[in-house]
Amino acid sequence: MNPLSLARWQFSIVTIYHFFYVPLTLGLAIFIAIIETKYVRTGDEMYKKMAKFWGKIFLINFAIGVVTGIVQEFQFGMNWSEYSRFMGDIFGAPLAIEALLAFYMESTFIGLWVFGWDKLTKKQHLAAAWMVAIGSNISALWILIANSFMQNPVGYTIDPETGRALMSDFGALVFNPNVLHQFPHVLASGVSLAGFVVMAFSAWHLLRKHDVTFFRPSFRMAAIYTLVGSVFVGTIGHIQGQFMVEHQPMKMAVAEAHFETEDPAALSIFTIGNWEQTEEIFSIRIPTLLSFMTYSQPYGEIKGINQLQAEFEETYGPRDYVPPVAINYWSFRTMIGAGGLMVILAFLGVLWSKDRKLDEKKGYLKIMIYAAALPYLAVTTGWILAETGRWPWIVYGLQTIEDAVSPNVPAWNVALSLALMTVLYTVLTIIAFKLAVKYGTSDVAIKAKE
Amino acid sequence: MDLNTIWFILVTVLFIGFFFLEGFDYGVGILMPFLSKDDNERRAVINTIGPHWDGNEVWMITAGGAMFASFPHVYATLFSGFYLALVLMLVALILRGVAFEYRSLRDDPVWRNRWDWAIFGGSLVPALLWGVTVGNLMRGFAIDADMNYWGGLIPLLNPYSLLAGLVFVTLFTTHGANFLALKLEGDLAERAKKFGFQAWIAATVLTVLFVIWSFFETDILTKSGINGLIPALLAAVALLLAGFYAKSGKDMLAFIMGSLTVVFATIMVFMGLFPRILISSMDAAYSLNIHNAAASPYTLKIMTIVAVIFVPIVLIYQIWTYKVFSARVKADPETLVY
């Protein structure tokens, strides 16, 4: 394999692994802060136990999120040095700001939260919980500002002498319309993911009638929390799709396996395309629906892959501009399918957890243990769509991945680091999963003593 | 003073914060297996930095991020050029961070022992590699006209830079021992001091060698005449006083002097580099400096505003954290968290 493919594999593996941990951090930090707020308001010790119990799961997850984050910060220079040179004037700033505003905050206050139960006043400790929650979400905001520049570059000029992109409008970069969709999307998916994790462990205990007075309210709070989150993800996702058609039409075309321009355009239910990615072999489609989803009216042109390829060639010169259709098509459908199921399951959870009826819904509770996989599937496929759908651009319309990779890092170096990182991340993920199961299925009374 | 110079100073400040804070952090990790006789003692040693290590590590991440924002070419050249060294360091740091959090989550001696090795190695390897990196920064390495270094890992492991690595390891170990003397109790604290003094002797000998070698190998100490020697002299005085105070039982003063050693030594290196950041050993014209490697004036201005507002805020809450956890740590499982 050439260094470029290896570097891409490495980026995708370390980033996907990293994003197993991030959304739980984002969502669970807020969830715990809300519970601790209840504790401080009511003085009810159960809420303190709850904050500590879910805090344990949070910390097991947070540890790996933090350390894998260092790789995220450094790998642009390591594997994508030409990108760092060409885009550094713009891309470096949000990364540095993220560290300065968010990393310090979450990392310092998590120390206060973990070690400060007996050293801080109740209110100070609660403030630490909120600082962790706010800090981690500020971190998400700034990294998404950086990513949004790659998706939809704004606020820059090109230096005529060096060809480098220079920041010309910081405000435009921060208020990139792409951020306004992407950040709420990521925040809300973190909320729903965290809710599903809490519901999974709670369901496990409820099925065994363990500590029902503890896990019933945990489940109820998580169900409400998740329902809000997942409905919001769906809504914002819909708007995001409309934005995508306008700003990254190729990404939407491949996500829909939409080969030829149509007006009104049909929505694919199931499509198989040819190997060359130029036409469909078999397809079931609902007429007009894609136009309707995009323009909220029963007509409107949606450009197809082949026309977009021709347009790109005219603007940027001849080459292949079509991202892998199958990956994007199925990622898009998996994300939406998982998201839909999540809304239904969360809704049932809210409905049934009102009273003790929940304990009798054995089948539902069993499903909920495994349903925690759904949000993980959704966030992973979501990012696969967002990133591979941008191919061949590292920054949309400005720089291709071939021009971005480090020229001076030989393939065997990247192969070695790829192997090392893959093994390390896999082992750590197995360990973290086992620890989370151990603590998530442990007895509350024992945990509360710690 | 132009923005480029201001950012050179700011990056220096971030590296000072990083070497000062992570210096004793790494030192604690390196000392942990040698100081403690049983599991409770090991936990006590780890818990001295328990609330702090994560916040301390952000200084390194921020230094990297700030370099990306202010001198993107330096970030690109250094991180791609030192690729394998960085991969090693990242693996070490990943294992170390997870080890702190996970080691006491299972009551199994084999499990704990493995993570303890991760803490030890995860502290030793970054300390060594940062030293090697600084050695190469002082000495220069083969950067070509396109700002790329093609040499790979082996030329970076030259004897001079390896010596710099050992200086870092021994200095940080001393620094960590000085910190532990303040944070532990009784016998454990006494052992920390004993080890600390031995590490100090090693650090002093190695530093003297390194400084002498630096006169021949680099222009860091000679380039700016007398001015360049001031931080070097201050670092030397602080190092000698650190040993003196450690020997006479004045733990706080020993820690302060050890800290000042790290601070002045870092200033010495960056002053010697200025206005260059990465020295090319191929041709002085290929070196990256505060102008040819910098971000645009607009980006530097934005980043200056952000830094001026937020660096003081960070300092305030981090210092507060040290005040909250100023008590000594007991080797008592009832009170230990990690």
Nearest by CB: A115 against B303, B310, B325? B325
Question: Over 60: is that where the pLDDT of A450 sits?
Answer: no
Q: Which of A230, A194, A191 is nearest to A55 (CA)?
A: A194
Residues 140-179 of B with CB under 8 A from A: 147-150, 152
Closest Cβ opposite residue B76 in set A88, A167, A438 = A88
Q: Is B76 an interface residue toward A (CB < 8 Å)?
A: yes
The whole-number pLDDT of residue A445 equals 63
Question: What does DSSP assign to residue B329?
Answer: P
In a domain, B330, yes or no: no
B296 CB within 8 Å of a chain A CB: yes
Higher model confidence: residue B225 or residue A33? A33
From the CA of B307, how many Å to the nearest CA of chain A?
8
> Which secondary-structure segment (H or E) carries B238?
helix B225-247
Q: Which domain holds residue B314?
A: 3-324
Name the pLDDT band for A440 (thresholds 50, 70, 90): very high
Q: How far is CA A41 from CA A35, A109, A216, in A?
A: 10, 21, 20
Question: Can you tell me the mean pLDDT for A307-325?
Answer: 97
Answer yes or no: do B84 and A100 touch at CB < 8 A. Answer: no
Q: Does B243 touch chain A (CB under 8 A)?
A: no
Could you tell me if residue B331 is inside a domain? no
Label residue B211 exposed, middle or buried (CB < 10 Å: 0-12, 13-18, 19+): middle
pLDDT-derived band at A449 (thresholds 50, 70, 90) equals very low
Q: With an 8 Å Cβ cutoff, are B83 and A406 in contact?
A: yes
Strands A165-167 and A267-273: unpaired
The answer to whether A418 and A10 have CB atoms below 8 angstroms apart is yes
Pick A170's closest partner by Cβ from B70, B76, B302.
Answer: B302
Contact call for residues A346 and A226 (beta carbons, < 8 A): yes
Q: Provide, as residue numbers in chain A, all residues whose Cβ is less than 8 Å from the Cβ of B292.
A: none
Give the pLDDT confidence of A380-424 residue by residue, as tens digits. Answer: 999 999 999 999 999 999 999 999 999 999 999 999 999 999 999
Q: Are B138 and B220 in contact (CB under 8 A)?
A: yes
**Which residue in chain B has the smallest CA separation from A95?**
B65
- Give the chain A residue whose CA is nearest to the CA of B308: A100
How many domains is chain B built from? 1
**Do A406 and A79 meet the contact criterion of CB atoms below 8 Å apart?**
yes
Q: How many CB atoms lie under 10 A from the CB of residue A93?
A: 31
Residues of B in contact with A428 (CB under 8 A): 94, 98
* Residue B228 confidence (pLDDT): 80
Contact B317 A115 (CB under 8 A): no
* Residue among B64, B96, B302 minimizing CB distance to A74: B64
Cis peptide upstream of residue B275 (ω within 30 degrees of 0): yes
How far is C-alpha A114 from the chain's CA centre?
A: 26
Please judge whether A417 and B76 are an interchain contact, meaning their C-beta atoms are less than 8 angstroms apart.
no
The mean pLDDT of chain A is 96
CA gap B205, B209 in Å, rounded: 6
Which chain A residue lies closest to B148 (C-alpha atoms)?
A408
Q: Looking at residues A52-80, what average pLDDT do you find?
A: 96
By Cβ distance, the residue of A68, A76, A100 closest to B62 is A100
Q: What pLDDT does A444 receive?
A: 84
Domain assignment of residue B9, yes or no: yes
> In whole angstroms, what is the distance from residue A57 CA to residue A386 CA?
28
Contacting residues for A239 by C-beta, under 8 A, at least 6 apart: A181
Closest residue, chain B, to A77 (C-alpha): B76
Nearest CA in chain A to B311: A100
Write out chain A residues lying below 8 Å of B107, CB-based. none
Q: Which of B66, B86, B337 lies at the smallest CB-CB distance from A115?
A: B337
Neighbours of A40 (CB within 10 A): 18
Give the residue from chain B lying closest to A87, CA to CA.
Answer: B72
* Residues of chain B numbered 92-121 and touching chain A (CB < 8 Å): 93-98, 100-102, 105-106
Cβ–Cβ contacts within 10 Å for residue A373, how many?
12
User: Is residue B226 included in any domain, yes or no?
Assistant: yes
Q: How many CB atoms are located within 10 Å of the residue B290 CB?
A: 23
pLDDT confidence of residue B224: 77
Torsion angles phi and psi, residue A302, rounded to 5: -120, 120
CB contact under 8 A, B324 and A120: yes
Parts of chain B with a pLDDT under 50 = none
> Is B311's CB within 8 Å of A90's CB?
no
Supply the pLDDT for residue B335. Answer: 87
Residue B220 burial by CB count (10 A; 0-12/13-18/19+): exposed, middle or buried? buried
Residue B270 CA: distances (Å) to CA of A141, B144, B220, B237: 33, 22, 9, 19
pLDDT of residue A447: 46
Nearest Cα to A240, choosing from A374, A382, A377?
Answer: A382
The amino acid occupying position A420 is L
Indicate whether B23 belongs to any domain.
yes
In a domain, B334, yes or no: no
CA–CA separation, A222 and A167 (whole Å): 42
Tokens for A339, please give them: 């998201």
Please answer yes or no on whether B65 and A89 come within 8 Å at the CB atom: no
How many beta-carbon contacts under 8 Å exist across A and B?
A: 219
User: Does the residue B337 lie in any domain?
Assistant: no
Distance between CA atoms of residues B287 and B281, nearest Å: 8
Give the pLDDT of residue B177: 97
Residue B136 lies in a domain: yes
Smallest CA–CA distance, residue B308 to chain A, in Å, is 11
CB atoms within 10 A of CB B222: 12
pLDDT of residue A104: 97
Which of A64, A89, A421 best probes binding to B when mutated, by most B CB atoms within 10 angstroms? A89
Tokens representing A347 are: 């809704």
C-alpha distance from B95 to closest chain A C-alpha (Å): 8
